[in-house]
């Protein structure tokens, strides 16, 4: 009997030595089995009663050896983890197990991809450009007057070390960059990040995403704009979606409009987000101002066009019922894993 207890402890020691801790799950398994308060070594000590008196000391030493082996192995693993975290700039725990799916798309990416594929079907091409902009492309070329409030330090992040450079406040800057380099016909979609000096809250953030659309050709009309936007709204929000264009003002379009979609009044949230009207604003748009075409080297007597710009966060919030814009940028896995 006692012989087999000795054998069992020896086997246990070998088992501990051979145990390989490869990730967080196996580490946790090792900890509960050999280190934690309910470890398998502890109860073995009490078996000493069954051991003949002349071998009790030997037995005690053997069980202690098992305990020590486990503790040393655990200490080595923990040291390794800590030194990895401290010594490198890469602070990820690489032993974290992959939980089922190795990664998911961010909701902003999902909605952006969807918008891009809707417009690609009608011949729009993606044209991305820089986020650090100059005054010309972000404001002046787009007919934004010197004293326009958007240029204000309160709204725009200016980069101190790069004379006159700023973080683009809208993707409209891509309009000017693209038109200066390409001849019509132009049919582009410019998705990307934009920045504004806003107080961060549930509804606004200092960084967000927009998609810009630009279409320049001979005899492009307001009817083309409306039809394009109606097509988009139906593809994005469902085939019975209704739209309306409300007159508005943007420096770079004339006439300018804002587009609402009819969201409906199905529940209390709908009432709140549509302020009881059922209508929701989705984007700004208009016919490109002839002054903008001239600024970018396109003859306004020969060509005309339309442009539109829309926010992505807002649309993703509607489609996925996301209550707070800050969720997008916090990288909380409990949020991200839902997509
Ligand atoms: N750039 C505008 C904004 O950030 C959105 C916009 C409005 C873009 C009208 C356009 C447009 O292209 O025609 O609020």
Per-residue pLDDT of the chain (339 residues; tens, 9 = 90+): 556 899 999 999 999 999 999 888 888 899 889 998 889 999 999 999 999 999 999 999 999 999 999 999 998 888 887 665 544 455 667 777 766 666 789 999 999 999 999 999 999 999 999 999 999 999 999 999 888 887 887 789 999 877 789 999 999 999 999 999 999 999 999 999 999 998 899 989 999 999 999 999 999 999 999 999 999 999 999 999 999 999 999 999 999 999 999 999 999 888 888 889 999 999 999 999 999 999 999 999 999 999 999 999 999 998 998 989 999 999 888 899 899
Q: In b/e form, how buried is each residue of 15-29, taking b as 16+ CB within 10 angstroms? A: ebeeeebeeeeebee
Indicate whether residue 142 lines ligand 1 (CB < 6 A). no
Identify the CA nearest to 285 among candidates 204, 218, 198, 227. 227
Residue 237 has phi, psi (to 5 degrees) of: -115, 0
Q: Determine the distance from the C-alpha atom of residue 316 to the mean position of all C-alpha atoms in its chain, rounded to a whole number.
A: 11
**Predicted pLDDT of residue 288:** 98
103 token code pair? 């990664």
**Predicted pLDDT of residue 66:** 95
CA of 278 to the centre of ligand 1 (A): 23
Distances, alpha carbon 204 to alpha carbons 24, 195, 200, in Å: 38, 11, 6
Q: Helix crossing, 56-87 with 2-18: angle to 10°? A: 10
194 CA closest ligand 1 atom index: 4
Q: Whose Cα sits closest to atom 8 in ligand 1?
A: 309
**Predicted pLDDT of residue 100:** 65
* CA pair distance 68, 13, nearest whole angstrom: 10
E-strand ranges in the chain read: 125-126, 132-133, 166-167, 186-195, 207-217, 243-250, 253-262, 279-288, 304-311
CA of 321 to the centre of ligand 1 (A): 24
Beta 186-195 vs 125-126: how paired, if at all? parallel
Indicate whether residue 314 lines ligand 1 (CB < 6 A). no
Indicate whether residue 289 lines ligand 1 (CB < 6 A). no
**Predicted pLDDT of residue 77:** 87
Whether the predicted model's global pTM rises above the 0.85 cut? no
CA of 283 to the centre of ligand 1 (A): 7
Q: Whose Cα sits closest to atom 4 in ligand 1?
A: 170
**Predicted pLDDT of residue 241:** 95
* Beta-carbon contacts of residue 316 (< 8 Å; ≥ 6 apart): 107, 108, 110, 111, 322, 328
Q: Determine the distance from the C-alpha atom of residue 149 to the mean position of all C-alpha atoms in its chain, rounded to a whole number.
A: 29
**Predicted pLDDT of residue 36:** 84
Indicate whether residue 286 lines ligand 1 (CB < 6 A). yes
């Amino acid at each position: 009997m006692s012989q087999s207890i000795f054998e069992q402890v020896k086997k246990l020691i070998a088992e501990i030595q051979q145990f390989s801790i490869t990730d967080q799950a196996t580490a946790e398994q090792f900890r509960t089995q050999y280190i934690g308060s309910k470890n398998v070594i502890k109860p073995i000590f009490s078996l000493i009663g069954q051991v003949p008196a002349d071998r009790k000391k030997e037995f005690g030493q053997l069980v202690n050896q098992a305990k020590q082996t486990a503790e040393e192995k655990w200490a080595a693993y923990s040291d390794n983890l800590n030194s990895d975290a401290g010594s490198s700039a890469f602070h990820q725990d690489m032993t974290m197990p992959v939980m089922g799916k190795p990664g998911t798309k961010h909701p902003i990416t999902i909605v952006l991809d969807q918008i891009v594929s809707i417009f690609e079907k009608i011949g729009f091409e993606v044209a991305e450009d820089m986020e650090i902009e100059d005054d010309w492309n972000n404001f002046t070329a787009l007919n934004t007057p010197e004293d326009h409030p958007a240029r204000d330090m309160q709204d725009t992040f200016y980069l101190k070390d790069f004379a006159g450079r700023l973080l683009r406040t809208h993707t409209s800057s891509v309009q000017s960059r693209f038109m200066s380099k390409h001849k019509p016909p132009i049919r582009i979609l410019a998705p990307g990040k934009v920045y504004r000096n806003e107080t961060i809250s549930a509804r606004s953030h200092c960084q967000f995403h927009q998609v810009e659309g630009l279409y320049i050709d001979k005899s492009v009309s307001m009817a083309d704009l409306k039809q394009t936007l109606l097509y988009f709204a139906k593809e994005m929000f469902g085939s019975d979606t209704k739209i309306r264009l409300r007159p508005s003002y943007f420096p770079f379009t004339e006439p300018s409009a804002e587009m609402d979609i009819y969201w409906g009044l199905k529940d209390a949230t709908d009432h709140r987000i549509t302020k009881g009207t059922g209508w929701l604003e989705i984007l700004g748009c208009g016919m490109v101002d002839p002054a903008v075409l001239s600024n970018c080297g396109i003859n306004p007597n020969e060509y005309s066009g339309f442009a539109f710009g829309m926010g992505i966060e807002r649309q993703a919030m509607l489609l996925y019922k996301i209550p707070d814009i800050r969720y997008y940028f916090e990288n909380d896995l409990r949020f991200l894993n839902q997509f």
